[in-house]
Chains A and B, each alone.
Chain A
Amino acid sequence: MKVVVCVKQVPDTKGGVKFKPDGTLDRSAMLAIMNPDDKAGLEAALRLKDEYGAEVSVVTMGLPKADAVLREAFAMGADKGYLVTDRVLGGADTWATSTTLAGALRNLDYDLIITGRQAIDGDTAQVGPQISEHLHIPVISYAEDIKVNPEEGTVEVKRQFEDRYHIVKAKMPCLITCLSELNEPRYMTPGGIFDAFQKDVTVWGRKDLKDVKDEDIGKVGSPTQIAKASDKVAKGKGEQVIPDSPEEAVDYIMGKLDEKHVI
C-alpha cells in the first residue's frame, strides 16, 4: 500500500499572529511548524505503515526552507519526501496550490492521499478536496477515524460534523482530509532526526509538474483576492430568532447572507 501525505509548513499561531503592514502574514516573525491537521494525517499514514507496512511519502509545497517539515516527517518515520518549490509557484491561492500539488502527485503511485483538513495560516479547508477533483478520485473530508481494508482495497472513514458523524466507505485510490483530533501524533526520535538529515529529499520545480497549465499556477493562476486578513475570532454563541412567519424567516436569513457578502 502506498500512502502520500500532503503537509504544509505554517507559522505557529500559538504565540499570536503577526501581520505585515499590507495585511499579509509576517511569516518571518513567526516560528515555522508542520500544520497540525497535516501532522495528524501523517500520523494516520504512519499507523498504516506500522500495521500494514505501507510506504509513506510526504509532499510539501513551499519555500526551500519547507525542507524542514520533510525532515520532521522523516524523523517521525516517513519513507520519502518531495519538496515542490519554484519562484513561479509563489503567491498561490488554494486553486493554484491544489493545481500544483495535483501536478506533483501525478508523478507518484498512491492508494491513499491524506491531507489535513485545513492549514492554520489560511483556514480555508479547500486544498484537499480540490486536489481530489484535479485527480478525479473520491474525497472524504473531516476524518476523525480511518480504517483500511487492504484486501478489499477500501477505506472506511468516520467524518465529523458539528452535531453528528457519517461513516463513509470508499474504494481506493481516494483522498482523505483529516482533523487534528484524529490522533495524537508521535514524537520524533533523536536518532530519527539525525538520520532524517542524511536522507534525500526530491525537489520538484515547475517543469516536473504533470498536466499543469502555466495560467493555473502561482500568482497568475490565483483568482482569490484577499480583502482583509485577521486573526481567528472565536466562534460566538450565535443568535436565536423566532420569526413570526416563513417569509420573515427568509427575509432575515437573506439579510444576514447579504450582510456577510455570501450572496
Chain B
Amino acid sequence: MDFQLDKEHEMARSLFKEFAEKEVKPHAIEVDETEVFPRETVNKMAKYGFLGIPIPKEYGGQGCDVLTYVMCVEELAKVCGTTAVIVSAHTSLCMDPILTFGTEEQKKKYLPDLASGKKLGAFGLTEPGAGTDAQGVQTKAVLSEDGKEWILNGSKCFITNGKEADVYIIIAYTDVVLDKKGRKQKKFSAFIVDKGLPGFTFGTKENKMGIRGSSTYELIFQDVHVPAENLLGQRGKGFPIAMHTLDGGRIGIAAQALGLAEGALGRTVDYVKERKQFGRAIAQFQNTQFQLANLKTETDAAKLLVYKAARAKEAAAANGYKTRFSEDAAEAKLFAAETAMDVTTKCVQLFGGYGYIREYEVERMMRDAKITEIYEGTSEVQRMVISGAMLK
C-alpha cells in the first residue's frame, strides 16, 4: 500500500493549485455574491484541459486517471466550491456515462467537444417528486411510430450546470412493466439531449444557500424530439446507467467536500496565528490546538477515503466494471461531506465574529459544504448503499 503520490501526480497537484490560486480564488467572493456563472474561468480551464482530465486522448481528453481528476476538483474546491462542482458535474455526470455506455459514434460525436470544454455537460435525474426515490420519475420518452425519434416530456429540477450546459444526459421512463407481485414498475432509459432542441426550455433558476455561482435550473421538456441514435445504452437500462453515473459523481463531490474542508482549515490555521485575544494569539490556547488537531485528522482520513475511491473506480474501469466501486464511492462521499460540514462549521467558530463575515470566506465554505451532504445522494442514501452491501 503506497500513500505517497508519484511525481506526476505531485506535479499535477501543483498545476491545479497554482491555477486555483491565481485564476479562481480572486473571483470566489464575487461569484458567490453575484451568483454569476464563472464563464471566463470555465473557458480558461477548458484551454488547459481541465474539462477532459479522465477522458482518453483518442476522444480529445487528457488521458489521465481518476485520481488526477479528483485532485483537480479538490484544489478548485479549496478556493471556490462553485468552480469545483462545475467540473465535477461536467466530467462525472455527463462525460463519464457517454464514455462508459456510449456507442463509438456517440463517443466520437460528443466527447471531443466536451473534453476540450467547447461544450459543457449536465445530467438530469432529479424531479420535484423524485430525488432519492427514482421510481417517482415522471419524465417520459415515447418512441415515434417510425422508430426514428424519442418524444420526451416532463421536467427535471436542481440541475447543476443547468442553463450553461450544451449536452445533457436525461433519465426518462420508456416502459412500464409488472413485477413478480404484479406491481407496476417503470423502466428507465438514458438519453443524450442537445441544448436547443425545440421544446427544451429552462424553468426557474434556484436561489441557493451555497455554490451560488453554479447554474442550477429546472429543465423542461415539451414534446422534445430526440433522435433515436441518442439513446444511451439499451432501452430499459437507464437505471443502472444512472446509478453508475452517480457512483462516479459521488467521488467528484467527495473531492469537492474534501477541498472545502482543506480550504477552510488552511485559512483557519493562518487566522489563529494572527488573531490575538487576552494578549496572545488564539493559536496558543489549548482549545484551538485540540480543535485544529481533530479537524486535521478528520480531513486527512477523508482524503484517504476519497483517493481510495478514485483508485477503486480506476481499477473497475480498467476491467470493464467487473469490480464494484459503489461502496468505496459512498463511503468517501459520506465521510468527506460530513467532514466538510463539521470542519467548516468549526472553522467559522474558531474565526469568531469574523467567521460570520463574508469577507473572511469561511462562512461561504460552510454554506458550500452543506450541499455535499445532499446532492448526488444524501448522506442517508450513502448509508443505505454501504449497509446494503454489508448485509447482502
Contacts and interface: CB of A to CB of B under 8 A. Distances in A.
Interface in A60-74: 68, 71-72
Nearest to A72: B11
A107 to B, nearest CB: 27
Contact of A191 (B7, B18, B62): B62
Contacts of A196: 8, 11
Contact of B57 (A68, A75, A191): A191
B18 A190 contact: no
Looking at B18, B62, B68, the one whose CB has the most chain A CB atoms below 10 A away is B62
B204 to A, nearest CB: 36
B50 interface: yes
Contact of B7 (A71, A188, A189): A71
A220 B261 CA distance: 52
Interface string A55-90: 000000000000010011001000000000000000
B48 A189 contact: yes
B69 to A, nearest CB: 8
B8 A191 contact: no
Contacts of B18: 187
Interface string B366-381: 0000000000000000
Interface string A181-220: 0000011111111101100000000000000000000000
B15 interface: yes
Contacts of A191: 49, 53, 57, 61-64
B19 A187 contact: yes
Nearest to B6: A197
A190 B15 CA distance: 8
A75 B15 CA distance: 10
A191 B53 CA distance: 7
Nearest to B61: A191
A187 B19 CA distance: 8
A194 B12 CA distance: 8
A187 B64 contact: no
Contacts of A192: 49
Nearest to A67: B7
Contacts of A190: 12, 15, 48-50, 53, 62, 64, 68, 72
Contacts of B64: 190-191, 194
B87 to A, nearest CB: 12
Interface size range of chain B in the complex: 10 to 19
A194 B15 CA distance: 12
Interface size range of chain A in the complex: 10 to 19
Contacts of A186: 48
Nearest to B65: A194
A71 B15 CA distance: 13
Interface string B68-94: 100010000000000000000000000
Contacts of B50: 190
A68 B64 CA distance: 19
B62 A188 contact: no
Interface string B23-57: 00000000000000000000000001110010001
A196 B15 CA distance: 14
B104 to A, nearest CB: 22
A197 B68 contact: no
A138 to B, nearest CB: 35
A185 to B, nearest CB: 11
A192 to B, nearest CB: 8
B74 to A, nearest CB: 13
A188 B15 contact: yes
B49 A197 contact: no
Looking at A68, A186, A188, A191, the one whose CB has the most chain B CB atoms below 10 A away is A191
B116 to A, nearest CB: 11
Contacts of A188: 11, 15, 48
B46 to A, nearest CB: 11
B98 to A, nearest CB: 19
Contacts of B19: 187
Nearest to B68: A190
B8 A197 contact: yes
A194 B64 CA distance: 7
Contacts of B15: 75, 187-188, 190, 193
Nearest to A187: B48
Given A187-B18, A187-B19, A193 B48 contact: no
Contacts of B61: 191
Looking at A68, A192, A196, the one whose CB has the most chain B CB atoms below 10 A away is A192
B202 to A, nearest CB: 32
A187 B46 CA distance: 12
A189 B49 contact: yes
Looking at A68, A192, A193, A194, the one whose CB has the most chain B CB atoms below 10 A away is A193
Nearest to B11: A193
Looking at B11, B12, B57, B61, the one whose CB has the most chain A CB atoms below 10 A away is B11
A194 B61 CA distance: 13
B49 A71 contact: no
Nearest to A184: B22
B330 to A, nearest CB: 26
B349 to A, nearest CB: 28
Nearest to A71: B11
Nearest to A189: B49
Interface of A: 68, 71-72, 75, 186-194, 196-197
24 contacts: A71-B7, A75-B15, A187-B15, A187-B18, A187-B19, A187-B48, A188-B15, A188-B48, A190-B49, A190-B53, A190-B72, A191-B53, A191-B61, A191-B62, A191-B63, A191-B64, A192-B49, A193-B8, A194-B8, A194-B12, A194-B63, A196-B8, A196-B11, A197-B7
Given A187-B15, A191-B63, A193-B11, 10 more contacts: A71-B7, A186-B48, A187-B48, A189-B49, A191-B53, A191-B62, A193-B12, A193-B15, A194-B8, A194-B64
